[in-house]
């Protein structure tokens, strides 16, 4: 029985990743930043095969703790970077844990002889920091794929910039270390939606769904989505977890970064679907998902199914 370490394995995406690996018969180690806050991870013990689950305290800024966490893992998933939009100190809250944490993580895994595969849960921001707005030089209807040149703007949200720089750090590491004993690959999901496995109220992903359902704008950034009826590319959290599992257990993907996306709808339609109403516009594909379909054999759920599932959960 192989061991997978999942950094951030109790979050919105991470919980579904943890569930998938437990279902597939792995020993699963999940890191949490504060072991005393059991309300953030206790839901994982309700999952099937939770006898094979271990929870460990870890902060990615602590290099020695990282080395210890990955020391007995064959597979490691890194999804432990903060996803937050309301930021007071970008350097402390986003750039340091995201970028320095990535640098520490790469150093830790490179010194662990047991590791066979590393998977980074990146973000569409690794390709376009303007998301959900189009990358520089593109129109809203222009498509984007892994063949496009990644785009970053210093005017983008600090979260997006931090994810972009972290991804560049991973690519530089791969380039500078051509004889690694393990594979590294990444997934870059667009806006991840769907049902949460926990009852946590501090999840940014589920919080955004709540805002869109009820057309609430707590800040100018969210208000912009409604004012401009921004086209939103969405992917189901279950499909993201499945893709991460496929990347982790498939050989020959070293250096690849998969865009994970289903359909795109304007935010007005997202609100309608979250309220069990039909969208007024036809779905379009803006962020291409062909590479994931070909290499990972992933079939992405329709967005209407994803949003209806969330709406049923919160009725």
- Considering its fold, how many domains does the chain have in total? 1
Residue 310 within a domain: no
Residue 300 within a domain: no
Q: What is the pLDDT along the chain (315 residues), one digit of tens a residue?
A: 899 999 999 999 999 999 999 999 999 999 998 999 998 999 999 999 999 999 999 988 889 999 999 999 999 999 866 666 666 776 776 777 788 889 999 999 999 999 999 999 999 999 999 999 999 999 999 999 999 999 999 988 888 888 999 999 999 999 999 999 999 999 999 999 998 898 875 566 678 898 999 999 988 888 999 999 999 999 999 999 999 999 999 999 999 999 999 999 999 999 999 999 999 999 999 999 999 999 999 999 999 999 988 755 554
Residue 281 within a domain: no
- What's 278's DSSP letter? -
- The per-residue pLDDT for 96 is 74
The Cα–Cα gap between 20 and 30 comes to: 13
Residue 32 within a domain: yes
Residue with the two structure tokens 């998902």:
289
- The per-residue pLDDT for 41 is 94
Residue 175 within a domain: yes
Q: In angstroms, how far is the first alpha carbon of the chain from the final one?
A: 40
Residue 168, domain CATH: 3.40.50.720
The Cα–Cα gap between 278 and 12 comes to: 26
- 289 class by beta-carbon count within 10 Å (0-12 exposed, 13-18 middle, 19+ buried): buried
Residue 269 within a domain: no
Residue 266 within a domain: no
- The per-residue pLDDT for 90 is 62
Find, among 85, 80, 144, 129, the residue nearest to 108 by Cα.
80
pTM over 0.85: yes
Domain residue limits at 43? 3-193+234-261
- What's 219's DSSP letter? S
The Cα–Cα gap between 251 and 65 comes to: 28
Residue 77 within a domain: yes
Find, among 167, 166, 136, 139, the residue nearest to 151 by Cα.
136
Residue with the two structure tokens 């990535």:
102
The Cα–Cα gap between 244 and 138 comes to: 29
């Amino acid at each position: 029985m192989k061991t997978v370490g999942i950094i951030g394995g109790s979050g919105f995406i991470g919980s579904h990743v943890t569930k998938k690996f437990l279902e597939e018969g792995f020993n699963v180690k999940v890191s949490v930043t504060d072991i005393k806050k059991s309300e953030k991870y206790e839901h994982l013990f309700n999952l099937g095969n939770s006898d094979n689950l271990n929870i460990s305290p870890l902060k990615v800024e602590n290099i020695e703790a990282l080395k210890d966490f990955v020391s007995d893992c064959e597979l490691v998933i890194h999804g432990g970077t903060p996803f937050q939009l309301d930021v007071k100190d970008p350097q402390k809250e986003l750039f340091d844990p995201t970028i320095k944490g990535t640098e520490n993580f790469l150093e830790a895994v490179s010194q662990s002889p047991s590791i066979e595969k590393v998977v980074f849960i990146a973000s569409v921001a690794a390709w376009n920091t303007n998301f959900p707005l189009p990358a520089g030089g593109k129109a809203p209807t222009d498509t984007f794929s892994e063949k496009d040149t990644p785009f970053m703007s210093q005017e983008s949200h600090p979260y997006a910039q931090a994810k972009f720089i972290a991804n560049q750090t991973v690519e530089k590491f791969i380039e500078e270390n051509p004889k690694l004993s393990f594979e590294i690959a990444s997934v870059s999901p667009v806006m991840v939606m769907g049902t949460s496995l926990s009852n946590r109220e501090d999840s940014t992903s589920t919080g955004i769904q709540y805002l869109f359902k009820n057309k609430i704008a707590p800040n100018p950034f969210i208000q912009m989505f409604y004012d401009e009826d921004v086209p939103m590319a969405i992917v189901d959290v279950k499909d993201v977890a499945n893709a991460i599992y496929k990347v982790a257990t498939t050989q020959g993907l070293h250096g690849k970064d998969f865009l994970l996306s289903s359909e795109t709808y304007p935010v007005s339609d997202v609100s309608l679907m979250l309220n069990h109403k039909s969208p007024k516009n036809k779905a379009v594909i803006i962020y291409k998902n062909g590479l994931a379909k070909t290499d990972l054999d992933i079939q992405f759920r329709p967005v209407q199914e994803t949003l209806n599932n969330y709406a049923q959960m919160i009725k």
